[in-house]
Amino acid sequence: MRLDKFVCKSTKFSRTQAVEYIRAGKVVVNDVAVFVESVQVHENNSVTLKGQLLVPRAFRYVMIHKPANTICSNVDEAYPSLFSALNLERSDELHVAGRLDANTTGLVLATDDGRWSFDIIRPQQHCKKVYRVGLSKVIEKAQTIDFTSRFAAGLKLQGEAELTRPAQLNILGPREALLTISEGKFHQVKRMFASVGKRVVTLHREKIGEVTLDIEVGTWRYLTAAEVASFKDEA
């Protein structure tokens, strides 16, 4: 990890303060003062600040139930950040593993462990995500089998050269479906339904890999050790 990040993760200092200390020669790595904040350090390195040994905090892995009209960013923009209403310390250190659109609700995983989140979002991982979808128009009985097999076979999305990966569509009611996909293209679910002539009006993520959303909207909890480890086992 970068030296400035290491200092932040071991202290209460902001990134700006960490950089100031580093440039002033107050940070020593393995007995040598280092003046450049981008230097990579390992957790096993001895890093001191003004003579005090720095020990980085453990990584955090959290589940958040995202409300509508929030964004998966650390800063408020057109909509408030999903972190802003959470009582979650140092949320500026966290990033999400797979964004949701502002009007999408449901399961968001957040962490400060970039390797872990990469395992979830890298395309080769084919991590499964389950979405509950509400549609503006009814899926007619006659369309049910056709849609299910087209989603399973792969759909041609506008602007994409390749078909979508096989997806499982379970139609729950005239305007409601559960969709399981194993990739994460931009606006993927909305574009998949658009390709069969349907408009998504509500979208809610229920599950990522083996982790199922089980908390109230607008709240968060730490993932269990088993949930954290579960992503390592995906193909």
* Burial class of 129 by CB neighbour count within 10 A (0 to 12, 13 to 18, 19+): buried
**Which CB, 11 or 168, lies closer to ligand URA?**
168
**Which CB, 91 or 188, lies closer to ligand URA?**
188
Specify whether 101 is catalytic: yes
Contact segment (CB under 6 A) with ligand URA among 49-57, 168-176, 185-193, 219-227 equals 185-193
| Residue 213, amino acid | L
| Residue 219, amino acid | T
Kindly tell me which residue out of 3, 49, 100, 127 binds ligand URA, with binding defined by CB under 6 A: 100
Reference 28, options 40, 12, 46; nearest CA is 46
Are the CB atoms for 43 and 56 separated by under 8 Å?
A: yes
Q: Is there binding between residue 101 and ligand URA (CB under 6 A)?
A: yes
Query: What backbone phi and psi angles, to 5 degrees, belong to 208?
Result: -130, 125
Q: Is residue 157 classed as helix, strand or coil in its secondary structure?
A: coil
Measured between alpha carbons, how far is 33 from 17 in angstroms, rounded to an integer?
Answer: 17
Out of 92, 101, 113, 119, which one is annotated catalytic?
101
Are the CB atoms for 178 and 46 separated by under 8 Å?
A: no
Q: Name residues contacting ligand URA, limited to 103-132 (CB under 6 A).
A: 104
**Which CB, 43 or 162, lies closer to ligand URA?**
162
User: Residue 42 CB, nearest distance to ligand URA (Å)?
Assistant: 36
**Which CB, 18 or 167, lies closer to ligand URA?**
167
Kindly tell me which residue out of 122, 187, 199, 221 binds ligand URA, with binding defined by CB under 6 A: 187
Which residues are near ligand URA by CB under 6 A? 100-101, 104, 187-190, 203
